[in-house]
Structure 1
Amino acid sequence: MDRLSGLDASFLYLETPAQLMHVCGVIVLDPSTVPGGYSFARMQASIEDRVRDVPAFTRKLRRVPLDLDHPVWVRDRRFDIERHVHRLALPAPGGYRELMDLTSHLAGLPLDRSRPLWEMWVIEGYGDRVVVFSKMHHATVDGVSGANLVSHLCSLEPDAEPLQLEEPETFGGDPGQLALLGRGVVSNLTRPLNAVRLLAPSATMVTRTIGRARAGTAMSAPLTAPRTSFNGTITGRRTIAIADLDLSDVRAVKRATGTTVNDVVLAVAGGALRGYLEDRGELPDDSLLATVPVSVHGSSRHARGANKVSALFTRLGTDEEDPLERLAELAERNRHAKEHHNAISADALQDWAEFAAPRTFGLAVRAYANLRLAERHPVVHNLVISNVPGPPVPLYFTGARIEALHPLGPVFHGAGLNITVMSNDGKVHVGVIACRESMPDADDLVRRFPLELTRLKDAAHP
């Protein structure tokens, strides 16, 4: 029996029919490299062989009686690969538009909580390519752990053994209702004591943040974002768009400007968002504010929990027309934001998330959505942008070479847009997902990414 961490469980409590908390991926494969040739049956069997003994793929949720504590993971003894790996075909003509329409529809469907919280849709008919659309609940993975799990389905050669998990898990026991009830009672009794232990370090963190703000070296503050058309109450409908960037171009800009790859990616995103909003007559005077998740897997003291993540806030420079000026300002802000973030405990978010009460948290989220409160208070942040490092070498998914891996994160009430990028074998794959009502044409945003990178590269190399 493995109890969910407070942060993992929070993604369950945050979920509503409109605010779905799974992360997705559009994996484009070249099936010609598969030893013996591609077939859906062979791919499904290969996936089953690789996941059957991996707890993250074969465990399901069990609630604690009376919701006294966070749920626990137990082994699904009726695990059936046919409930998780499905087959679809694109309608004619089987192009990009048809693929985006289909994946957008699949992204808007919730996962079945009575089973392990993942599924894959093997999509055929995309020219001579096969696409795997994956979905995993955020309670199971974050960016780093998700990439680690996907890598377990991959190998360095078409016929090689799959890569090994960095932190292999083992199955826990299968507890009875009485045992779960007892653990829930103990957890509730000790919770006030744990809260007291967090008060002093939290007070210190607030004091230091105030000092940084006065010195002008604090990260950008939440609740100071301008309002845009994608900052309101969302629905359950999604729209997806993808694009590719050349990693060598990103690195060339990085070298020429003395910045980082992450700085360049954020500056490109800022330029794309500026153009998107300006063309609609919606560009605010103030810069958009992004939440940038930060992995703390290497510094967290917690041994368990899939989500080991913190976050920082940064301005994207959408109020600056010149791409080089935008990059320079953004790099300076990121430097302060990182220093500020590093001064905060890596486990602060995980520690406080332990106090999320299952029943109360869920009711609060639903009330927030039903009352459309996201449209009544200042905007917390405009969007989420994630940068997930990927493999620098070619990988093969059950024998098929991965040509692209576009990650997609969740969207939230108040921030109906998520941009996630992943580097992979010399490319930077961009995934955009949004609430369809907030951003009906995500392609109009994503197609600006390559143009903005070219514009930035030309400016850096006049």
Structure 2
Amino acid sequence: MDASFVALETRTSPMHIGSLLIYNPETAPGGFVRYKDILRFFESRMQLSKTMRQKLVRVPFELDYPYWIEDKDFDLEYHVRHVALPKPGDWRQLCIQAARIFARPLDLSRPPWEFTVIEGIDNVPGVTPGSYAMVTKVHHAAIDGMSGIDLMEALHTLDANTPPPNEPDTWKGEDPPNFAELMAKSWVNNLANPMRQLDAAARAMPGVAKAIKGLVAKDFKVHGEMIAPRTRFNTVISAGRVVEGRSIPLADIKAIRTAAPGAKVNDVFLTVIGGAMRKYLLAHNDLPDKTLTAMAPISVRSSGEKGDMGNQVAAMIAPLGTHIEDPLERLAYVHSQTVNSKAMTDAIGARNMTEMSKVSPALFMALGAQLYTRLGLANRVGPPFTTVVTNVPGPPVPIYSTGARLESMMGLLCLTDGMALGHVVQSYCKEATIAFTADRKVMDDPEFYADCIQQSFEELRDAAGSASPATITPAAEPTNSKPAAKKGAAKSGKAKKK
């Protein structure tokens, strides 16, 4: 799975994930943080992360998966950059700068990560003047959402005055393997791959049998609403990006879920996003009659793998109820669909789904990924899902970097051909953010979509506040009204940081 993100890397599809972080330096010594202070702080904590000083070595002709080695030429100043916004330094400028930084591919001949410190954000509503932001980029081959949180833990502390680690840094760089060594390793691994495939298949069989049994017993259903219709977001993408998001109280999300019996916090987020996509596409006269769907990653990382690099994720398909106008009916519908999808995933075994991906021949996987891009298949074949919605729980208490308090965090996501819009839901202390990354050519009005998210949340919150949970059930015949979009509606949003 890690190697698939390397194979999918193109100029227009850089496969990194990250965050837009905002820090308040009033808790730092002297109430001020300099660039060299950040470098010194990071350098003192390098030993706490396996990711920071490792780089990829790719095998000739893609005959085997890439290898990780310790980069003996590691240069911290290359990976930590420093820029400033011109005045006035508002929220929209920050989002534009973050999108530009995030659109640029990483140098895969070096450890695949970059952090960019951004000063001059003195006119962002709700942000203390003198604060600074940081855009993080880490290749998806190195981390998934949960191991990304572990990386955040390595570069943050629970107290502003926590001293550097006491243990000596015993890290040493490695010489990269030569051509002969790589070819020999790939030959041995390819000989063993058929046995690994048989082993994975044997371990998957009980899950397959359980899934068939569950399907027969109608524990879950495989139905047409899990197949996504084509939208403007399912196309070949460009190299440009836009990022935006909205912050909402986590307490409101927890209160809303009580409006539909059994609903989870993630169901609420999916419902809000479904409502936002409905509003956005209605305004563009482009809403399909059929519900849009989201791919929702599921972490299968065990407690013993907490600090490991790479990806340990499976996925489920979640219909978003975009064909339903009423927000509470949409919440009940989304909950019923996620229960069904989770039952299917549990029957097959999320871990089995991940293990099967580990035995795909590297050469075929790389060729398949390149052909998908070069032939423009995203414009010719139906999308497996409309968008991605990944939910990453953050720290429930304040954390600090270089003594500065982290005020907010907004997730950023990689895009691929066929998926020009992705969402990251992230919690931190009492805040939840719904952020999105989109192709700039597909969505040239990100402020409007961010306002759609805000409006969708407010409608659901207000409806849930006046409803009786006992009356909220999935709609058999959901309302599907499509009011005519007002001319210029797509441009009516105002950029605003809540």
TM value normalised by structure 1: 0.91
Q: Distance in 2 between matches of 1:222 and 1:461?
A: 29
Q: Is 2:13 the partner of 1:14? A: no
1:270-292 CA distances to partner (integer Å, 9 max, x unpaired)? 11111111111111101001100
| 2:101 is the counterpart of 1:101 | no
- Cα deviation code 1:233-259 (max 9, x no counterpart): 111211111210110111111234332
The residue that corresponds to 1:3 in the other structure is none
Match of 1:287 in 2: 291
The residue matched to 2:414 in structure 1 has which SS? coil
Which residue of structure 2 lines up, in the alignment, with residue 148 of structure 1? 150
Separation (CA, whole Å) in 1 of partners of 2:176 and 2:165: 32
Q: Distance in 2 between matches of 1:220 and 1:18?
A: 34
Counterpart AA for 1:73: W
Which residue in the other structure is 1:337 paired with? 341
Query: What is the aligned counterpart of 2:428 among 417, 424, 430?
Result: 424
Structure 1 window deviating more from structure 2 (100-109 vs 211-220): it is 211-220
> Is 2:398 the partner of 1:394?
yes
Corresponding letter in the other structure for 2:422 = N
- Residues 11-52 of structure 1 show CA distances to partners (whole Å, capped at 9, x for unaligned) of 101111111110021001112221232111111221222125
* CA distance in 2: counterparts of 1:174 and 1:346, whole angstroms: 37
Q: Corresponding residue for 2:269?
A: 265
Cross-structure match for 1:124:
119
1:359 deviation in Å?
Answer: 4.0
Q: Which one of 342, 346, 352 corresponds to residue 350 of structure 2?
A: 346
Secondary structure of 2:315's aligned partner: strand
Task: Give 1:358-377 correspondences, 5 Å limit.
Answer: 358-377=362-381
- Pairing partner for 2:22 from 11, 28, 35: 28
Does the 8 Å contact 1:156/1:394 carry over to 2? yes
Cα displacement (A) at 1:206: 4.7
Secondary structure at 1:388's aligned position in 2? strand
What are the superposed Cα offsets for residues 116-143 of structure 1, whole Å, 9 maximum, x if unpaired?
1000000000002200000000011000
Q: Say if 1:170 and 1:44 are closer, same or farther in 2 by CA, change over 3 A.
A: closer
Q: Which residue of 2 aligns with 1:63?
A: 58
Whether the 8 Å contact between 1:55 and 1:75 is mirrored in structure 2 is no
Q: TM-score, normalised by structure 2?
A: 0.85
Match of 1:189 among 191, 196, 199: 191
Give SS of 1:347's match.
helix
Distance 1:277 1:169, change over 3 A: farther
Aligned counterpart for 2:246 among listed residues 240, 243, 262? 243
Partner of 1:434: 438
The alignment covers a number of residue pairs equal to: 453
1:198 pairs with one of 178, 197, 200: 200
Distance 1:100 1:69, change over 3 A: same
Q: Secondary structure at the match of 2:349?
A: coil
Q: Which moved more, 1:395-404 or 1:359-368?
A: 359-368
CA distance in 2, matches of 1:11, 1:86: 24
Aligned-pair Cα RMSD in Å: 2.6
Unaligned ranges ≥5, structure 1: 1-6
> Is residue 223–residue 378 contact of structure 1 (8 Å, CA) maintained in 2?
no
Indicate how the Cα distance of structure 1 residues 53 and 148 shifts in structure 2: closer, same or farther if over 3 A, else same. Answer: closer
Report the more deviating stretch, 314-323 or 348-357. Answer: 348-357
How far is the alpha carbon of 1:302 from its aligned partner?
11
Corresponding residue SS for 2:243: strand
CA gap of 1:294–1:346, structure 2 versus 1, over 3 A, is: same
Q: In the alignment, is residue 253 of structure 1 matched against residue 248 of structure 2?
A: no
Q: Are the structure 2 counterparts of residues 162 and 421 from structure 1 closer, same or farther at C-alpha, using a change threshold of 3 Å?
A: farther
Residue aligned with 1:391, SS: coil
- Tell me how far apart the structure 2 counterparts of residues 383 and 105 of structure 1 sit (CA, whole Å): 21
- How far apart in 2 are the matches of 1:169 and 1:459? 57
Unaligned 5+ runs, structure 2: 123-128, 467-498
Counterpart-to-counterpart distance in 2, 1:43 and 1:132 = 11
Alignment of 1:33-182 (within 5 A): 33-36=27-30, 37-51=32-46, 54-127=49-122, 128=129, 129-161=131-163, 176-177=177-178, 178-182=180-184
Residue 464 of structure 2 is matched in structure 1 by 460
CA distance in 1, matches of 2:306, 2:350: 10
Tell me if 1:225 matches 2:220.
no
In structure 2, the CA distance between the partners of 1:213 and 1:413, relative to structure 1 (3 Å rule), is farther
Query: What's the offset of the Cα at 1:356?
Result: 3.6
Partner SS state of residue 350, structure 2: coil
Residue matched to 2:480: none
Read off the aligned partner of 1:418 and give its amino acid letter.
G
On the 8 A contact 1:142/1:307 being kept in 2, the answer is yes
C-alpha spacing 1:113/1:264, structure 2 compared with 1 (3 Å): same
Give the whole-Å Cα distance in 2 for the aligned partners of 1:407 and 1:51.
Answer: 23
Structure 2: which amino acid aligns with 1:62?
V
Cα distance in 2 for partners of 1:223, 1:458 equals: 29
Aligned counterparts of 1:299 and 1:78: Cα–Cα separation in 2: 32
Match of residue 495 from structure 2: none
SS at match of 2:321: coil
Greater gyration radius: 2
Query: SS state of the match for residue 131, structure 1?
Result: strand
Q: Partner of 2:45: helix, strand, or coil?
A: helix
8 Å Cα contact 1:10-1:353 kept in structure 2: no
1:227 and 1:299, CA in 2 relative to 1: closer, same or farther beyond 3 A? farther
What residue identity is the alignment partner of 2:419? A
CA contact (8 A) 2:64 2:363 kept: no
Check conservation: 2:211, 2:348, Cα contact below 8 A. no
Preserved contact between residue 154 and residue 162 of structure 1 (Cα < 8 Å): no
